Amino acid sequence: MTAVTATGKTERARENRADLRRLLSEKQPELLAALQLAERELDRELSGESPLRRHPGVGPAQWLP
């Protein structure tokens, strides 16, 4: 049985994300772009920088690039 450490799990998760992004960029670039946009918006929302927090009546269609 192999011992699995938290550091090992973190590194493996990082590798998996990189592999997934590489595959998506090759096979489904539009999906990757949509996922990256959603990730950025979530980061903004969680950090308090989201336009939704400043302007509650504004929906996603109004602030997409």
Q: How confident is the model over 4-50, as pLDDT tens digits?
A: 788 999 999 999 999 999 999 999 999 999 999 999 999 999 888 76
Distances in Å between the Cα of 24 and the Cα atoms of 32, 34, 39, 54, 64 are: 6, 11, 15, 33, 21
**What is the C-alpha separation between 54 and 48, in angstroms, rounded?**
9
**What is the C-alpha separation between 40 and 32, in angstroms, rounded?**
12
- Output the six-digit token pair for 42: 């979530």
**Stronger pLDDT, 62 or 19, i.e. the higher one:** 19
pTM assigned to the model: 0.57
Domain boundaries in the chain?
Answer: 1-48
Q: Which amino acid is at 28?
A: Q
- Output the six-digit token pair for 57: 């009546």
